[in-house]
Structure 1
Amino acid sequence: MEYNDFPGLYQASDKASLSAQKNYKNIIAYDLITMIIASGLAIYNFRQVDPKLIVYVFSGFFLLISFALTLIIRTKKFEDVWYQGRALAESCKTLSWRFITCSESFEHNLSTNQVEDYFISRIKELSNEFKDLNESLNAKIAVLPIITKKMWEIRNLNTLERKQYYIENRINDQKDWYATKAEFNKTKYNNWFLVIIASQLIAIISVAFLIKYPDSNWNLVGLFTTISASAISWLQLKQHQELKQAYTTAAQELNFIQASFGNVNTDLELAEFVLDSENAISREHTLWLAQKRK
């Protein structure tokens, strides 16, 4: 399904989560960069007072910016909106796929009114569960239809057509996304680890240089130890290694589940198949959320 084919609450919570995630990571990145710049200004020890004063002023300016950014991170609570928005969006998405495939609680033999009422009640429960997000949601998006025309259109397909649609638009799409993200995080993890190793090595060389030339006005130790510490902090924030493992596991589990889809021929079998698949996707998200909250 297209993005706009999902309930308005999904679209609003997804946008709120992505926006909060972007703001949170950007502010932390700027925070780390300003600290690196402040430490970089001190690499040369000027003998004259005036140049020293200028360096101190600029260093203090960047440290002040860093302090202000830290306060923003603390007060704005972007991280909470990011996590809660993601949890709400994924819950709405899973519920939507169960609805359109006539899975558990949305069986094909139920009346239109029964299915519609239950779906709306579940969406309402989710909205109440995450009511703290309301101030971060775009009201115009949140009030879009709860059940879209596309959702009814797919639900009214026959069993084999619903099965094929689910495989192509949910399983394959999610599996490819997991695999791509797993390799992306693996590459990023290796790259940042190289930055950490290189900056620590340069810091060690700088110390050796100062031991040999103690009267030197150049001191790169502070700069590269700050770079190393910042890279470690960024790596912990992004959790590339943990995400790589989680995405790889989820992709493999979906692949094993998909291997059995040839035996799906009835509504009951499709309902069980969808339930297994959505549980696998839900486990990945639960693991991600747990890792982010550590």
Structure 2
Amino acid sequence: MLANKVNENFYPSIQRVVGRDSSFFQSVHFSLLFLNLSLLVVAAALSKFKFSYFDFRYNQTVLLVVGFVIIIYLGVKKPERSWYARRSLSETIKTLSWRYSCMSTPFGELERVDDDLFLERINESCVESDFVDGFRPSYVMSVTPTAEMIRVRKLSLDDRVNFYVTNRVQGQLRWYSSRAKRNRFFHWFVFSILCACSAMAVVLSFVNEVQSVNDMPTDVLIALSSSLMAWMQSRKYVELTAAYKLTAYEIESARSLVHSISTPSEFNQFVDEMENLFSREHTQWIAKRQV
């Protein structure tokens, strides 16, 4: 009886370590960016209103200094670069793991030969990542294929095909489809708030100019609108929605080829095409963020 999904022990432990690091640096990058934009909005509010719980001398200056420090940190330490490098390395290890399990190019020789090649390719990937982020290749010197990878490798052709399609292809299809929907939702959600803030800023500005009312929070709404625009640009909701929808469509189209597989060479070609498709997406993902 084949498992319905791949558990975390399918991949080598380094993949889980790198994946957690990628999520951590992603959280650091966006949390600091969100904090910086929020500080700008609060500073704008302090220039217009007084808050008893935050009423001390130089309060606005303190917020702007903290925001400035965050900008310096993001520019010098570049946590997004660590995020990009580790995500790319994590996806590369996944691809190598599946190629090894399915005995697809460049694997397909004796198990001992493929074991050595698997370690060599992971080491090469870590060295390449080291140029981007300082990742230490010494972490992976003892990496070997997991017991689950070896088990899948020894399955019959039909079982390997079924396992790969169920766990890898359909898993990737679900991931890209759900991420496309998620990014589309957040794009329209943030965009709606942006439009509302901008419209309110226009109305309040008009009222202020007509009636000479000076206590309108127009500056706060302008700062909030600018921050929302910067947040949308940093999250790349529209770009990611299009990219994920395209990849999901390509996976769906390529998945239909599985019905014509009857020989190991045909399966090898199928796996090679699918893994190249997955690799192309995350390679483009990295390239677009390093521009």
- In the superposition, the TM-score normalised over structure 1's length comes to 0.90
Cα 1:227/1:55, change in 2 over 3 Å? farther
Cα 1:190/1:204, change in 2 over 3 Å? same
Cα 1:136/1:178, change in 2 over 3 Å? same
Superposition map of 1:177-192 within 5 A: 177-192=175-190
Task: Spell out, residue by residue over 1:36-61, the C-alpha distance to the aligned partner (whole angstroms, 9 max, x if none).
Answer: 10101223499xxxx9x947622112
Distance 2:219 2:284 in 1: 37
Contact conserved, 2:40 with 2:64, CA < 8 A, in 1? Answer: yes
Q: Which position in structure 1 is the counterpart of 2:29?
A: 24
* SS of alignment partner, residue 269 of structure 1: helix
Contact conserved, 1:17 with 1:83, CA < 8 A, in 2? Answer: yes
Cα 1:90/1:3, change in 2 over 3 Å? same
Task: Spell out, residue by residue over 1:196-229, the C-alpha distance to the aligned partner (whole angstroms, 9 max, x if none).
Answer: 1111111111110111122x23132211111111
Q: CA RMSD in A?
A: 2.3
Distance 1:210 1:293 in 2: 43
Distance 2:274 2:289 in 1: 23
Percentage of identical aligned residues? 25
Superposition map of 1:139-178 within 5 A: 145-178=143-176
* SS of alignment partner, residue 3 of structure 1: coil
Contact conserved, 1:14 with 1:89, CA < 8 A, in 2? Answer: yes
Superposition map of 1:255-294 within 5 A: 255-294=252-291
Cα 1:27/1:78, change in 2 over 3 Å? same
Q: Structure 1 residue 237: deviation in Å?
A: 0.7
Contact conserved, 1:206 with 1:220, CA < 8 A, in 2? Answer: yes
Amino acid at match of 1:40: A
* SS of alignment partner, residue 5 of structure 1: coil
Amino acid at match of 1:151: M
Cα 1:253/1:163, change in 2 over 3 Å? same
Task: Spell out, residue by residue over 1:1-53, the C-alpha distance to the aligned partner (whole angstroms, 9 max, x if none).
Answer: 2223212332222121111111000000000111110101223499xxxx9x9
> Any unmatched runs of 5+ in structure 1?
none
Correspondence 1:237 to 2:234: yes
* SS of alignment partner, residue 103 of structure 2: coil
**Deviates further, 169-178 or 62-71:** 62-71
Q: Which position in structure 2 is the counterpart of 1:119?
A: 118
Distance 1:283 1:157 in 2: 28
Correspondence 1:217 to 2:214: yes
Q: Structure 1 residue 293: deviation in Å?
A: 2.0
Cα 1:118/1:45, change in 2 over 3 Å? closer
- In the superposition, the TM-score normalised over structure 2's length comes to 0.91
Distance 1:207 1:42 in 2: 16
* SS of alignment partner, residue 187 of structure 1: helix
